[in-house]
Amino acid sequence: MKTTAARISSLVLLAITTSASMAQTQLLRKDLLQVLLTQQPLSQIEVKQVTMPVGQTAPKHTHPCPVVGYVASGSVLFQIEGEEKRVIQRGEAFYEPKDKVILHFDNDSAHEPLTFIAVYLKQADEGLIQLVK
């Protein structure tokens, strides 16, 4: 049986993925991401819209909670430690696992800002981000 927090996170993700489709006459559902969260207690969800200017890069960092995101505009150069770099385009989703080093989360465009929606799946006492030296 799903917990209330799991139901809420499902509803938040459904709202993000279907908001663009609502203007159309027919409901369309497109799978963007599926992640199995194992042993992740969930008591709080925070949803943030983040905009990075042209050329901005994020420092190496981790998240003390899992993060699910959606690129609303622009593109991001993304790399988790131990994985290959990849570019995530507008309309695509990403996942940043708890406590994994994020080597790159950079605006990949030389011409437009990057805007993404980040959904932080937290325990109430967890922060959002920790910089890595």
**Amino acid 19: pLDDT:** 54
pTM of the model: 0.75
**Amino acid 16: pLDDT:** 61
CA–CA distance, 52 with 132 (Å, rounded to integer)? 19
**Amino acid 87: pLDDT:** 97
Q: What is the three-class DSSP state of 47?
A: strand
Number of structural domains the chain divides into: 1
**Amino acid 52: pLDDT:** 95
Residue ranges, the chain, pLDDT below 50: 21
Instruction: Provide the CATH number for the domain around residue 84.
Output: 2.60.120.10
Which amino acid is residue 43, in one-letter code? S
**Amino acid 73: pLDDT:** 96
Residue carrying the six token digits 């996170």: 9
Provide the mean pLDDT of the chain: 85
Residue carrying the six token digits 């993700």: 13
User: Which domain, by its residues, includes 113?
Assistant: 4-131
